[in-house]
Structure 1
């Protein structure tokens, strides 16, 4: 779902709550109700219109609970992921830096689940990746000598 659709839904929800609260405390004629709804909707819609200001919303989960050993929870929608970077780019068009800035996260906030990163690191070390003349290179040299 796009951000503008999500904002429209949030605005409609707010309009419903505001109008309900107003009508419950104030006498409103049935023929005036559509005007009240339009007025509230126009007011809320005006906040995000020209300047592009988006209503702030809380993260899907508390930041402290967003990083677990096996997954990272996306603060945008609450989805549990092993790798967050690609998901953020595809779903929200956000870079890791923009995501961290949006949610006031530290620069070292992980984009990969810790256990997943450790498994990938161990696999890379066993494969000899990242070393010139490493295990993988020695194996290919031994095969070519035979």
Structure 2
């Protein structure tokens, strides 16, 4: 018995791929990558692939229209979501312990938050502080880690330097 849902493979030359990718906006290219990745799963059925394509089309076409119109509405909405005050995952006063700082977005503890904020939440340090109304000097690194790094830096001689005396008895600027 023959399967009614056959998959046709289309091969393109490198020149065709280059021309095709240059001609298509990033949204259409992303659409193709998403659907292709989903379709490459062994368990994916044709119906599931078609449903995914139908659900993604309006989302990406809407973004494409805004992109074509030169609208910054999408980026403004994302920035507004990232910087609008949000209820923290734990009380702010409990976010900094001696050996860990806790992410107010998800509640997980880390030695340093910078990499986690960017990778998991797509936030910069400034956006994170603005989102939760934190001061500029709010620590994003565990105090014990900062102390350990400072002690090591002092031990190897960083932060010390000799200045030559000027003719007026004051140290001269290097």
Structure with more of its chain in helix, by fraction: 1
Matched residue, 1:19: none
Tell me the secondary structure at the aligned position of residue 112 of structure 1. Answer: coil
- Structure possessing the higher radius of gyration over alpha carbons: 2
Per-residue Cα deviation, 1:14-55 (whole angstroms, up to 9, x for no partner): xxxxxxxxxxxxxxxxxxxxxxxxxxxxxxxxxxxx884759
User: Which of 98, 106, 118 is matched with 1:69 structurally?
Assistant: 98
**Do the aligned residues in 1 keep the contact of 2:85 with 2:133 (CA within 8 Å)?**
no
Runs of 4+ in 1 over 4 A off after TM superposition: 53-57
Residue 129 (structure 1) shift? 2.5
Within 2, Cα distance between the matches of 1:84 and 1:67?
A: 11
Matched residue, 2:57: none
Residue 132 (structure 1) shift? 4.5
Match runs of 1:23-38 below 5 Å = none
- Runs of 5+ unmatched residues, structure 2: 1-73, 163-174
- Runs of 5+ unmatched residues, structure 1: 1-49, 134-146
Residue 71 (structure 1) shift? 0.6
Residue 130 (structure 1) shift? 3.8
Which structure has more relative contact order (CA 8 Å, sep 6+)? It is 1
**Do the aligned residues in 1 keep the contact of 2:114 with 2:140 (CA within 8 Å)?**
yes
Matched residue, 1:97: 126
| TM-score under structure 1 length normalisation | 0.51
| TM-score under structure 2 length normalisation | 0.43
Go from structure 1 to structure 2 and tell me whether the alpha carbon gap of 1:129 and 1:112 turns closer, same or farther (over 3 Å shift): same
How many residues of Structure 1 are paired with residues of Structure 2 in the alignment?
A: 85
